[in-house]
Structure 1
Amino acid sequence: MSVNGSLSGISFSGLGSGIDTASIVSQLISLERLPINRMQTQKTRIQTRQAYYNELKARTSSVAASLGTLKQSATLNAVKGTSANTDVATVSVSAAANPGSYLLKVSQLAAAQRSTSTVQASSSTALGYTGTFTVNGKSLEVAATDTLAGIAAKVNALGVGVSANVISGQSGDAYLSLSSTATGQKNAISLANVSGTALASLGFLGGTSSLRDATGTTARSVSFASASQSLGSLTGLSGTANFDVNGTTVTVDFATDTLDSLATKISAEGSVTATVKTDSATNRSYLELDGASLGTLLSDTSGVLKQLGIFQNNFAQPVTAAQDATFTLDGIAMRSATNTVSTAVNGVTMTLKKANATTPEESLITVERDTDTVVNSFKAFADAYNNLNGFIRQNSSFDAETFESGALFGDPIARQLEDIMSDLIFLTKPDAATGDLSSLLQIGFGRDNTGKLTLDESRLREALTNNASGVSKLFSNSGSTTGADLAFITGTNASRNLSAASVVITQAATAHLVASDPVGGTPQVAGEILTFGGSIFGNSNILFSIPSGIDQSEIANLINSDSRLKDLVTASYSSGTLSITSKTKGTPGAFTVTSNVASAAGNSGIGTSGGNITAGVNVEGTINGEAATGLGTLLTGNSGNANTEGVQVRYSGTTTGNVGTVTFSQGLAARLENQMLLFSDSVKGIFKAQDDSLTSQIADIDRTIANREAVLKLREANLKARFQAMDSAISAFRAQQAQLSAALTGQR
């Protein structure tokens, strides 16, 4: 009896024939798998080659990146700042700073205001105080059940730049401490009573009133989130209140008045000029009053000027007064709300640390060229170059004795890259004028006999010391224009050198205009709200309130003085029409304005549909006879242009035709970088194309292997079936033979 098959995962073969059929099938399949093995070996070689290319790309990209740094004007013109006495001030600088020295004398440091209440019996039991008062222009209501800690929590919840804390005394007494969260006179705390006795019971204030934040003839209110929202929504106050301006009563209606409308009311009297301004650091609006002897011109009959932070009663328990930093720079008196001063000298930030009112603390602030940083940037280029060049040489070697070769030996791409690397040192700036620097060799670069890039640092430092502008001109892109209304903006690596290339304008940029219907100059019958929107307003809406009783001419004046609008649009009135024009030309200056009432005599005439729009158009024209694309007043050479791709100029004029010329010089760093980007560019570089090709080859091999493996699987199954059939047939034949032999033996 013969057994041939599989039982419980155990295979028995050849039992009938006595032949090891499994071994035969395995050997046959192994022979047929040889092409697959060769393909897997080929795949491994391709993957190894791809890995070397990826390393080449990474090192080439490092060279390109170092050159990208060197082509920046900020790199080559790097500056550093020092303070002779860091106890008095420290200094940091940006690329915008120019070399120079300044004598700093500090007489006063900026400080934040801090004040305390009078002693209170407890921090945790109800005080029994009632009333409403304002903190930095925001109302707070105190209930009889409030504790000192509860009042502190209410102050902190206002979020108005005042921090409240409870200080416990040794005998169980408690104090409420208020401190401004920012330094400077403009951030002095504003506390004013509205009703009740809570504020008086806390004992913060004395009885003397004066302007809270005043400088010269000007005084300022506290700041608010908006100039056009009602004062009621900003302060939490309601009803009306009065004050006098030079004997003329001004009524504040908290429900309808805004900072803008209040400024108009104050200015209408004539002796005080009121404007709404915006703090650029916080984007908050405040009222600024200007007039001689403001303290006597203004009479706060109802306390509203204290509630708005213009006047302030003295603090009875002051700890620290709000004050600006005061100092001189080369004898020029200056002041700052903070001890970090970044507006005194362009690109220079000073942090004031020590002051003396009697004998000002001194330090010499020096800004000088940061030669070390520039030299290190050149060293980084040399290191990146040598890392790449060394990698190519190491992996392109061939040993004539052992016949062993590197992975990149004979590789055409590596060879091409090595040739370009060898030529970099000799590359020159073709448009360099006589006497100008034109190559790396002139500033200390060279090559040794191994191909390594060398740098004579002393020679480079000498060039940077004696001819810093020449080194910058050698490496950086630069450009200039002729024509009164034409300005050079930038060029790119794709831009080619241009010499007095003509700029021809076929369409000058115009501003976006919204005009009202010609409804005449009839004064407003009732109040009106204009809604401004569009990209120039950050794609958010600005609500502009127009009080009753003013005409279109006065509306234009209000728009032009509004802190949120005046830098973006300008308004004018002529022949019964209100015109609002964007200050940014072309499509970037597009905006919308709509009214909450239909256009009619007695209002702005803008109407609910948004007035009559004349859309601004972008500049159009050519540079050097090549097509260019306009955006606003910017004209940029189109992608793919032979010479002007990426060259950008600004044309601010109104005439068309030939308006001037542009000259562009590509720096040596950009030229060298372009050579590297031919290989390392992630979109169209040689390594990207090669990587895509190798990846495709690997994918093709994987598909071929998979297909052949599937065929082999079927082939193996077929062979096993055929050998099994043969084995079964032999087994059956032997059984029959045995039976026949037995029968013959029986007959004997």
Structure 2
Amino acid sequence: MSVNSIKFTGLASGLDTQSIVDSLMSVQRLPLNKLNQKKQILEWQRDNYRTMNAKLKEFDTFIFEGISKQANMMKRTAVSSNKDIVSVSANANAGTVSYNISGVTMATAAKIQSADKISNSTIDPTKSLLSQQSKLSDQTGISWKGEDFSQTLIGKGDEITLNATSLSGFPDEITVTGGTNKTFKVQIIEGDAPDEANRDKVTPTVYVNPATGKMTFSESLAENTTVTVENLKKNSYIEFDIQTTNEDGTNNKQSFKIDGSSSLNTMFSKINSSNVGVSMFYDTGTDKVVAQRTATGNLNNGDEIEFSGTDANFFTDALKLSVKTAGTDAEFTINGLKTSRKSNTFTMNDVTFNLNKNTTVGESVNVNIQTDTNSIFDTIKSFVDKYNETIGAVNTELTAERFSGFQPLTDEQKASMSEKEIEQWEEKAKSGLLKRDSILTTGLDKMRNSLYASVTVNDTTKTIEKYNQLAEIGITTSRDYLERGKLEIDEDKLKAAIEDNPEAVYQLFMADGPTSDQQGLARRLRTNVSDTMKQIEEKAGNTFKTQYNYTIGKDMLRIDDDIESLEYRLKQIEDRYWAQYNAMEKAIQNLNNQSSQLSSYFAQNS
């Protein structure tokens, strides 16, 4: 430990050395405080710039998503006199026209349904296909594929368990030999077999649970009975293809592989959610299955749905799908022209029609396509409101009062103030940091000029003389100078312009020419906003830039270097003060010691 690091706090002199040094250093630290205040002001200024950039970016995005989209500015409203029969919608390119529709016969979809009931006792479509197979009235040709687990067992009593679980593909009958010679009808079950009193005593039956492999016989087997189960499968499945015909005459074919543990509902769900374009369901009331095309119209004279592949007979035989009904085209008369469509939904001249119900004799529907004036007006009004909000925020920064007497507080100053006092002080210290800022002022002037200047009329801009300035559609600058360039709308004049020529109003904002005078007002604004944002980023950066990449950041780095150098010098000065006061304390201590010795000497001689 050096001598200078030892601090004597007035032991000899009686002085409050610490307070004296602190007072001396507080004066020495004034330049350091000013540097820290300067750095704090730069940080606040940087943050204010970034807040302005966020406002400008928000405005730019608002323009892009609103007034710049033709769908918003050329919106059409389609009105049907009877939506129950014909409902309509129109896109931005639809003309202002009227249609009369009569003689509507809706298109229907082709379908195939079961010719008769498919089961002896109504099947449960929520249970596995294997467990319900025995209930099907026709099982011709159903052959489950999978791993072969055929086996022979020796047993007795009414229960025998197979040497595997999760089995499938059981034969219809099991023959036992040896102690008992008899053929048992197989009945697939889920869970436990019926108790002995409820088992089939007329027809020898074996109840098989494929999940556990347990076989329960309706009567006991004699000792040493041989049970042979053939064609037993594990992980069984069936395979088939479905082919449909598309409106253009092409075919759409898809292959399916259905596990035996899947239910009928699960199989139909897989088919319905596929891209083959078929919707299937089982009706427990009629015990029939229906397969229907999702597309309407006569697509292949009744052969719009075809089942093929290895196990196609599951549909044609087991589900008895053989009764075919061809789809029919929609027929109607529009403005006196009798025509047809494959679908009940079709588009004509950028208007989409939906046929919802057949008309009766003499019944007709009128459809009117008009400019959606209110919607377009709302889009433009929203743009004006956002513009006013944006320039209002910028003007607030440019005109805020600067309180030069309120500098950033030091830590010592904050320590003696309440939180409310600190908040009020810093509110004034932060005010006016961007007052009369050249970047924002220039950017705001360009935005105003872009809106006030007319758009050149030519084939490129697609504008017209009648509507090539903002004032001509009823949007002007507020006469109140305190509003600092905010816009006002003459609602009646703007709506009249929209109804008169919505295309010209749209081009006034979004014309796309090679020069600024040939560009629409909103397009110019986006260019001005983009240029201003770039300048702000060069000065204040963004969250992705380091301090080395923007002007204020570089200034803050230089201040950091100055602070580091000054703190080093201040440490040396403080050490010097303490060294001087330590020397003084030592000198006083030596003097005190000498005085004490002299007093002692004189006392002894006297």
Is the structural similarity TM-score above 0.5?
A: yes
- Whole-Å separation in 2 of the counterparts to 1:101 and 1:351: 16
Deviations 1:580-611 (A, max 9, x none): xxxxxxxxxxxxxxxxxxxxxxxxxxxxxxxx
Alignment of 1:1-12 (within 5 A): none
Aligned to 1:427: 453
- Compared with structure 1, are the counterparts of its residues 109 and 162 closer, same or farther at alpha carbon in structure 2 (3 Å cutoff)? closer
Change (3 A) 1:729 1:379: same
Separation in 2 of the partners of 1:377 and 1:22? 70
Please report how far the alpha carbon of residue 427 of structure 1 lies from its aligned counterpart in structure 2 after TM superposition: 1.3
What does residue 452 of structure 1 align with? 486
Letter in 1 for 2:92: A
What is aligned with 1:202?
318
Which of 461, 472, 477 lines up with 1:442 in the alignment?
A: 472
* Residue in structure 2 matched with residue 364 of structure 1 by the alignment: 366
What is the aligned counterpart of 1:496 among 504, 515, 531? 515
Residues 108 and 407 (structure 1), Cα distance of their counterparts in 2 relative to 1, 3 Å cut: same
1:690-729 correspondence to structure 2 within 5 Å: 690-691=539-540, 692-713=550-571, 715-716=573-574, 719-720=577-578, 723-724=581-582, 727=585
Q: Distance in 1 between matches of 2:352 and 2:529?
A: 38
The alpha-carbon distance between structure 1 residues 48 and 678, as it changes in their structure 2 partners (threshold 3 A), is same
User: Structure 2 vs 1, CA of residues 89 and 41 (structure 1 numbering), >3 Å: closer, same or farther?
Assistant: farther
Equivalent in 438, 442, 466 of residue 412 of structure 1: 438
Equivalent residue for 2:27?
Answer: 31
Alpha-carbon distance in 2 for matches of 1:163, 1:67: 45
Q: Within 1, Cα distance between the matches of 2:132 and 2:94? A: 58
Structure 1 residues 71 and 135, CA gap change in structure 2 (3 angstroms): closer
Amino acid at match of 1:334: S
Deviation at 1:460, TM superposition (A): 2.2
Q: Which residue of 2 aligns with 1:107?
A: 105
Which letter does structure 1 place at the counterpart of 2:341? Answer: R
- The AA in structure 2 aligned to 1:40 is N
Q: CA deviation at 1:419?
A: 4.1
CA distance in 2, matches of 1:176, 1:747: 140
Q: CA deviation at 1:72?
A: 5.2
Q: Which amino acid aligns with 2:468?
A: S
Match of 1:598 in 2: none
Identify the range of structure 1 (406-415 vs 80-89) with the bigger mean alpha-carbon deviation. 406-415
Deviation at 1:58, TM superposition (A): 4.4
Please say if residues 476 and 666 of structure 1, whose CA atoms lie closer than 8 Å, have aligned partners that are also in contact: yes
Distance in 2 of aligned mates of 1:45 and 1:30: 22
In structure 2, the CA distance between the partners of 1:362 and 1:12, relative to structure 1 (3 Å rule), is farther
The question of whether the paired residues in 1 share the 8 Å contact of 2:290 and 2:321 is answered with no
Deviation at 1:677, TM superposition (A): 3.8
Counterpart CA distance in 1 for 2:565 and 2:79 is 71
Counterpart in the other structure of 1:383: 385
- Structure with the bigger RCO (C-alpha within 8 Å, sep 6+) is 2
| Cα distance between partner residues in 1 of 2:107 and 2:474 | 48
Matching residue's letter, 1:93: A
Give the structure-2-normalised TM-score: 0.58
Q: CA RMSD in A?
A: 4.6
Distance 1:452 1:120 in 2: 81
Instruction: Select the residue among 670, 675, 695 that pairs with 2:523.
Output: 670
CA distance in structure 2 between the partners assigned to 1:728 and 1:361 by the alignment: 119
Q: Are 1:349 and 2:352 matched, yes or no?
A: yes
Q: How far is 1:431 from its partner?
A: 5.1
1:95 aligns with 2:92: yes
- Asked whether the equivalents of residues 71 and 477 of structure 1 are also in contact (C-alpha less than 8 Å), the reply is no
After superposition, the C-alpha distances for 1:684-743 in whole angstroms (9 at most, x for unaligned) are x33333323333333433443344335434554564466456545654664565456446
Secondary structure (helix, strand or coil) at the match of 2:38 reads helix
Question: 2:380 is paired with a residue of what secondary structure?
Answer: helix
Query: Would you say 1:687 and 2:536 are equivalent positions?
Result: yes
Cα separation, partners in 2 of 1:359 and 1:33, compared to 1, 3 Å: farther
| Deviation for aligned residue 1:444 | 1.9
More helix by share: 2
Partner in structure 2 of residue 127 of structure 1: 133
Instruction: Measure how far apart 1:15 and its partner are.
Output: 2.8
How much does 1:397 deviate? 4.8
C-alpha separation between the residues in 2 aligned to 1:373 and 1:200?
55
Give the equivalent residue in structure 2 for 1:464: 498
| Gap runs ≥5 in structure 2 | 144-238, 244-252, 406-427, 541-549
Q: Secondary structure at the match of 1:44?
A: helix
Matched residue type, 1:442:
E
Partner of 1:522: none
> Which residue in 2 is equivalent to 1:182?
294
3-state DSSP of counterpart to 1:127: helix
Using a 3 Å threshold, how does the CA distance of structure 1 residues 139 and 374 change in structure 2: closer, same or farther? closer
Say if 1:374 and 1:198 are closer, same or farther in 2 by CA, change over 3 A: closer
Partner of residue 297, structure 1: none
SS at match of 2:133: coil
CA contact (8 A) 2:457 2:464 kept: no
Pair 1:194–1:426, CA change in 2 (3 A):
closer
User: Which whole-Å deviations, capped at 9, do the CAs of 1:173-193 have from their partners, x for residues lacking one?
Assistant: x95745558343559543357
CA separation in 1, counterparts of 2:26 and 2:258?
Answer: 93
SS for the counterpart of 1:103 is strand
Say if 2:288 and 2:319, in contact at 8 Å, map to a contact too.
no
User: Cα gap change, 1:51/1:85 in structure 2, threshold over 3 Å: closer, same or farther?
Assistant: farther
Cα distance change on mapping 1:694 and 1:351 into 2, 3 Å: farther
CA-CA distance at 1:31 after TM superposition? 2.0
Residue of structure 1 in register with 2:341 after alignment: 335
Q: TM-score, normalized by length of structure 1?
A: 0.48
Cα distance in 1 between the residues matched to 2:97 and 2:447: 40
Letter in 1 for 2:306: S
Contact kept in structure 2, 1:180 and 1:188, CA below 8 Å: no
Q: Structure 2 matches for 1:559-570, cutoff 5 A? A: none
- Aligned-residue offset at 1:110: 4.9
SS at match of 1:380: helix
Q: Is the 8 A contact 1:156 1:162 kept in 2?
A: no
| 1:34 Cα offset (Å) | 1.4
CA 1:79–1:36 in 2, change beyond 3 Å: closer, same or farther?
farther
The answer (yes or no) to whether the contact 1:120–1:175 under 8 Å persists in 2 is no
CA distance in 1, matches of 2:71, 2:311: 59
Cα distance, 1:369 vs structure 2: 1.7
What is the CA deviation profile of residues 284-334 of structure 1, one whole-angstrom value per residue up to 9, with x for unaligned ones?
A: xxxxxxxxxxxxxxxxxxxxxxxxxxxxxx25xx9xx86665555444423
Secondary structure class of the residue paired with 1:190: strand
**1:678 shift after superposition:** 3.5
Aligned-pair CA distance for 1:20: 1.8
> Residues of 2 paired with 1:205 and 1:94: CA distance?
43
Letter in 2 for 1:380: S
Identity of aligned residues (%): 25
1:107·1:361 contact (CA, 8 Å) conserved in 2? no
Q: Is the 8 A contact 2:105 2:359 kept in 1?
A: yes
Deviation of the 1:76 alpha carbon: 3.9
SS at match of 1:387: helix
The verdict on how the C-alpha distance between 1:723 and 1:367 changes in structure 2, with shifts beyond 3 A counting, is farther
- Shift of residue 127, structure 1, vs aligned partner: 2.1
Taking a change above 3 Å as real, the CA distance of residues 22 and 421 of structure 1, as seen in their structure-2 partners, is: same
Q: Does the CA-based 8 Å contact 1:135-1:155 persist in structure 2? A: no
For 1:344, the aligned partner's letter is T
Change (3 A) 1:711 1:82: farther
How many residues align? The count is 433
Any conservation in 2 of the 1:167–1:175 contact (CA below 8 Å)? Answer: yes
Q: Is the 8 A contact 1:429 1:438 kept in 2?
A: yes
**CA–CA separation in structure 1 for the residues paired with 2:587 and 2:329:** 110
Q: Is the contact made by 1:475 and 1:668 (CA closer than 8 Å) also made in structure 2?
A: yes
Structure 1 residue 679, shift from structure 2 partner:
2.0
- Structure 1 pair 398/193, CA: closer, same or farther in 2 (3 Å)? closer
Residues in 2 aligned to 1:736 and 1:74: alpha-carbon distance in whole angstroms:
102
